[in-house]
Amino acid sequence: MAEERIPTVVADGVHITYRVHGAKGGKGSATSALSRIVSRRPAVGVREVHAVRGVSFASYRGEAIGLIGSNGSGKSTLLRAVAGLQVPSAGRIYTAGQPSLLGVNAALMADLTGERNVVLGGLAMGMSRREVKDVYEDIVDFSGINEKGDFISLPMRTYSSGMGARLRFSIAAAKKHDVLLIDEALSTGDAKFQARSKERIGQLREQAGTVFLVSHSNKAIVETCDRALWLEAGTLRMDGPAAEVVAAYEEFTAKPKPKPKAAARK
Amino acid sequence: MSGARPTLRQYIGQLWSRRHFITTFATAKLTAQYSQAKLGQIWQIMTPLLNAIVYFFIFGVLLGTKKGVPDYVPFLVTGVFIWTYTSSSVTAGTRAISGNQGLVRALHFPRASLPLSLVLQQLQQLFFSMCALVVILVAFGQYPRFHWALAIPALICQSLFCAGISLIMARLGAKTPDIAQLMPFILRVWMYTSGVMWSVEKLAGSHEGIPSWVVMALRCQPAAVYIDMMRYALIDSFHANQLPPHVWALCLGWGLLFFAGGFVYFWRAEESYGRG
């Protein structure tokens, strides 16, 4: 097996730092801002956040990789860097094909009907008008939006959060992806839909290659992924088979402050 | 490697392949705007009409700027609508990238799609305003005639200009979001010096001591040129001698200059958008 593994994403010592404006440590009043301008003290409002610290990994075709870790551990940032939407401040990311973030939500508008959002989302992902037309029925059927009546012709703001999430995932999954990056898409939606999306992720893996999945549901990771990366405070803590990594992570989260004895059970 | 800038030729190709996204996004924005209102899309035409009425009340009735300007209502309303197209293109451009960070961070597409799409939205909005304008023109005795066709080349040139300036503002606004706070003031000054509610020429004539080159510069700057072109096309009493010299050259020149310049300027920072 090791012979014909084709790498899709290679991350080499990746560091990512954000610059955040308006994150002042001191007083944020207008007078203090004015006094800063007058006294020409340099950029107090800018703070750097070191979100990812030296992460290296390689992913191969046909893999589904789960990313786990507590809130703010740098998972989403890392995904954005893989998608090429964030430049690493140090290190490099090499990709085969175009990784795409399952992030159509940003293109959708709550005031428009589901129908128009399907078209808009498809076009935003780079489909042609014809391609959108071809997959339109599939998207609507897959989302199951119309199972309880004609909801697709209602504005999206009238949808429940689960319905919205289902439609978003359905739109995003309608396109063929080389490397698909999914950030917390499956946490909403009922059991039936979760099963269906799991199946869809499987299909996407067969078609194209690699699927990355960020989720706080350990169960979803174990069931959909064969490998997992565990990020903690921006560093890669563990990389291995999904079940093992999740088990270690669960043990870690069970104890709020990891004492040395936490590593004992192995 | 992820995230390198395409060549200018590739970039134009990418934009062309995204043309449907650009138009759909524009229409979607336009529709979403009034979808919560009870009267819905009627506001598309109500908003410019109400605007025109307010300006007429303030500048025509209260301040009496209409003195010496024949057909003042058509003059004013044309000015307001054409100016609104320019100014809203600038405003929309400023927020095109900074206001759509989510979209820029989540999806790959040529970023110029956003400012271009937003200008297209303004153009669609102008189309509704123009419908209202035709009603007003007819109501004030300006009947459709062949001369009105001049409005089309004038609008095309103005659209080039608006797209260009929107691209420039998009790059500036993406790098320095503070510009969005500053723009209303700059736009207001620009509006008052563009002769939206009065004739720059007549106003300058009543104030001694304004050098003639200043007046000429005010009449030749793009916003004023496009307003006066439209008045010339639509209003009988607005004659060619009220236009600055070489007006068609100015019209096209400003359009091409800003469009080409703005496009290249925007493209040169393509890879940096959305990475604060």
List pLDDT tens digits, range A205-241.
Answer: 777 678 888 887 888 888 888 899 999 888 888 999 9
DSSP A9: E
d(CA B163, CA B119): 6
Chain A residues near residue B18 by CB distance under 8 angstroms: 123, 126
What integer pLDDT is reported at residue B60 of this predicted model? Answer: 78
Residue A85, classified by CB atoms within 10 Å of its CB into exposed (0-12), middle (13-18) or buried (19+), is buried
Give the tokens for residue B33.
Answer: 């705007």
Closest CA to A165 of A181, A142, A148, A147: A142
pLDDT tier at A91, thresholds 50, 70, 90: confident
pLDDT tier at A262, thresholds 50, 70, 90: very low
Note the pLDDT tens digit of each residue in B141-194: 888 889 999 999 999 999 999 999 999 999 999 988 889 999 999 999 999 889
- For the sheet containing A47-60, what is the strand order? A47-60, A7-20, A90-95
What integer pLDDT is reported at residue A208 of this predicted model? Answer: 61
What integer pLDDT is reported at residue A103 of this predicted model? Answer: 62
Give the tokens for residue B233.
Answer: 């096309």
What does the mean pLDDT of chain A come to? Answer: 79
What integer pLDDT is reported at residue B32 of this predicted model? Answer: 87
d(CA A76, CA A74): 6
Q: Helices in chain B by DSSP H: which ranges?
A: 8-17, 19-33, 43-55, 72-94, 101-106, 113-139, 151-175, 179-192, 200-206, 212-220, 222-234, 247-267
Interhelix angle B212-220/B222-234, nearest 10 degrees: 70
d(CA A75, CA A229): 9
pLDDT tier at B1, thresholds 50, 70, 90: very low
Write the CA distances from B249 to A162, B220, B226, B262, integer angstroms: 57, 11, 12, 19
Instruction: For chain A, say whether B107 makes contact (Cβ under 8 Å).
Output: yes
pLDDT tops 80 at residue A184: no
d(CA B160, CA B165): 9
The distance of Cα A122 from the centroid of its chain, to the nearest Å, equals 19
The verdict on a CB contact (< 8 Å) between B25 and A129 is: no
> Where is pLDDT greater, at B165 or B67?
B165
Q: Which residues of A26-63 are buried (b: 16+ CB within 10 A; e: fewer)?
A: eeeeeeeeeebeeeeeeeeeeeeeebbbebebebbbeb
Q: Where are the domains of chain A?
A: 1-16+47-98+178-266, 100-176
Q: Is the dihedral of CA B63, B64, B68, B71 positive or negative?
A: positive
What integer pLDDT is reported at residue A264 of this predicted model? Answer: 44
Residue of B24, B25, B176 to mutate, testing the A interface (most A Cβ within 10 Å of its Cβ): B24
pLDDT tier at A70, thresholds 50, 70, 90: confident
pLDDT tier at A257, thresholds 50, 70, 90: low
Closest CA to A244 of A66, A108, A115: A66
- Give the chain A residue nearest B3 (alpha carbons): A84
Residue of B31, B100, B108 to mutate, testing the A interface (most A Cβ within 10 Å of its Cβ): B108
d(CA B52, CA B62): 14
Note the pLDDT tens digit of each residue in A23-43: 555 555 676 667 666 666 555
Q: Judge: domain A1-16+47-98+178-266, CATH 3.40.50.11540.
A: no
Q: Which residues of B119-143 are buried (b: 16+ CB within 10 A; e: fewer)?
A: bbbbbbbbebbbebbeebbeeeebe
Give Rg (Cα) of chain B. Answer: 20
pLDDT tier at B2, thresholds 50, 70, 90: very low
Note the pLDDT tens digit of each residue in B213-266: 888 888 899 999 999 999 999 998 888 888 888 999 999 999 999 999 999 999
pLDDT tops 50 at residue A76: yes
Write the CA distances from B199 to B54, B76, B170, B238, integer angstroms: 19, 10, 31, 11
What integer pLDDT is reported at residue A100 of this predicted model? Answer: 72
What integer pLDDT is reported at residue A42 of this predicted model? Answer: 54
Instruction: For chain B, say whether A97 makes contact (Cβ under 8 Å).
Output: no
Q: Which A residues, 119 through 158, put their C-beta within 8 Å of a C-beta on chain B?
A: 119-120, 123-126, 128-129, 155
Distance (Å) from the C-alpha of residue A240 to the closest C-alpha of chain B?
25
Residue A72 phi/psi, 5-degree rounding, is: 75, 20
**Token pair 């994403």 is at which residue?**
A9
Q: Across-strand partners of A94?
A: A10
Closest CA to B48 of B157, B161, B109, B126: B126
The verdict on a CB contact (< 8 Å) between A83 and B2 is: yes
Q: Where are the domains of chain B?
A: 47-272
